[in-house]
Amino acid sequence: MKKIFFVFLVLMSFVSFSEEKKKDVFDSIFERKLEEEKLMEQKKNPDFIIKVAEEAYKNKDYKKASENYLTAYTMRPQNMKLKMNHYKAEAMDFIDRFKIAFYIVGFIMFFSFVFKIISVYNAGAENRLEKGKDADLIKIKDEFLKGNYENTVKITRSILDKPYSFTIPDKYFINATLAKAYYKMGVYTNAKKYAMNGIRMKTISPELHDLLCEIFIKTNDTSPMAIKEYEIKLQKNPSDTKIINMLFDYYVARKDINDSAMNIYNKIYRYNPENLDAADMICLRGIRKQDLDPAMIPIYEKVLEKLRPDDNKLKSTLLKCYVSNKKHEQAYKFAKDFLSMKEFMEDKNLHKIFFDSAKATGKMDNLKEFYTELRKKYPESVFLENMFDEHEKRKEGLDIENRMIKDKNSIMEQGIKICPVCAHINTSEQKFCEKCGKPLNI
């Protein structure tokens, strides 16, 4: 087919062109044909194929190089170098096609290596920082023990600006040291600040509680926090007079009568019974609680005499205390004074106390005169009229009771036994009642 086409082209060239032009066209076609045939012959030559492969490899056309090396190897199978070059070109072609992926993997591996180096460095940096922190903390402690308080504060404040990682014990140590150093320097405001910071980090810190208490005393602080610290200190040292006096002044100024305050008042009064403020506060608590303990009587009496002579609540409490402790003489006097006052003269309970104390002290004969005067003073009072009648009945009953006692004593003196069950009179020799048969010695 090619030959026919070639012949056709030759004929057409002869028909279409002049002789000279026909000759040029024919020569060019012939040369091209010769070149093609020459090329075809070269493609059958292994050396030419190898040359093409090497040229393609240099130009980084690895696929073409791989194909030509493989072609040359099929022609010369004994040449193993051609096979190796084929694999080499094929590998380079694979790398070339996937070079982006290789770049990414290489990039990742590179940065992984870099990060590993950085992490190792950082680990070492943390160790270096930890060692530096420990050295600075030791230096702070040494400076404080040497008494270099200003230098202690300076070093301590400086390490707070460093990139150290402080634990809770480290922070407590720093705040406690600053508090003690400022206290030694007389800078109580800063000392108080850092002491409170330390307590917040470690509630069980006796040294800081003691320090804070001393700061409050020196600054005459009576804030709720200071009072709490005083009370904590007093629990550890109940005889600390400085704390007792601070708390006493605070409680008295506030008129506190809670348990904590009473503990202080009792301490002060025990050491100094002439302290009227302490006696007054104990008295107020006694009135509120209606304390009828006999030990309260001298306190009530002292306060009534020197501080509150017109305090009727105090008088009422003292009267109850007299009655409770069977102080009949004092109860009689107090009840009489109360009943002489218009606001109390119709108090039935007071009249009963007055009767009982008069009976106990043998002053029933004086009551008639007292009630007579009282009725003259308040003639419109029906209540007093009734009380006067009751007095007469009590007086009559008391006379009968006294006569019975005398009769009993007389009978006993005569050697007669009265049956305790039926009241039958028996002779002294009998052991059982003649009437009811019950024992007479029960």
What per-residue confidence (pLDDT) applies to 394? 61
- Mark out the alpha helices in 160-295 (DSSP H runs): 168-185, 188-201, 206-218, 224-236, 241-254, 259-271, 276-289
pLDDT tens digits, residue range 349-385? 888 888 888 888 888 777 778 878 888 888 877 777 7
Lowest mean pLDDT among 77-81, 232-236, 262-266, 331-335: 77-81
Q: How many domains does the chain have?
A: 3
Query: Is there a domain that residue 360 lies in?
Result: no
pTM over 0.75? The answer is no
Domain closes at, from 25, 42, 59: 42
- Between 403 and 422, residue with greater pLDDT: 422
CA-to-CA distance for 207 and 201, rounded, in angstroms? 13
Same-domain status, 206 and 175: yes
362: left (phi over 0), alpha (psi -120 to 50) or beta: left
What per-residue confidence (pLDDT) applies to 428? 65
- Token pair listed for 296: 């309260």
Instruction: Residue 317: give its domain's CATH number.
Output: 1.25.40
Q: State whether residue 61 is helix, strand or coil.
A: coil
H or E segment at 418?
strand 416-418
Query: Is there a domain that residue 177 lies in?
Result: yes
Domain closes at, from 204, 220, 254: 254
Same-domain status, 196 and 246: yes
Same-domain status, 262 and 209: no
What per-residue confidence (pLDDT) applies to 303? 92
Could you tell me what percent of the chain has a pLDDT over 90? 7
Same-domain status, 234 and 263: no
Instruction: Residue 209: give its domain's CATH number.
Output: 1.25.40.10
Let me know the angle formed at the C-alpha of 312 by 306 and 317, rounded to the nearest 5 degrees: 90
Domain closes at, from 272, 301, 325: 325
Mean pLDDT of the chain, nearest integer: 77
Q: Which residues share a beta bridge with 432?
A: 439
Lowest mean pLDDT among 54-68, 205-219, 232-246: 54-68
Same-domain status, 234 and 189: yes
User: pLDDT grade, residue 441 (50/70/90)?
Assistant: low
State the number of CA atoms in the 13 A half-sphere of 26 facing the CB: 16
Let me know the angle formed at the C-alpha of 265 by 263 and 269, rounded to the nearest 5 degrees: 120
pLDDT tens digits, residue range 1-59? 545 544 554 555 544 545 555 456 555 665 665 565 555 555 566 777 777 777 877 77
What per-residue confidence (pLDDT) applies to 401? 46
What per-residue confidence (pLDDT) applies to 293? 92
Give the structural domain span for 14.
1-42
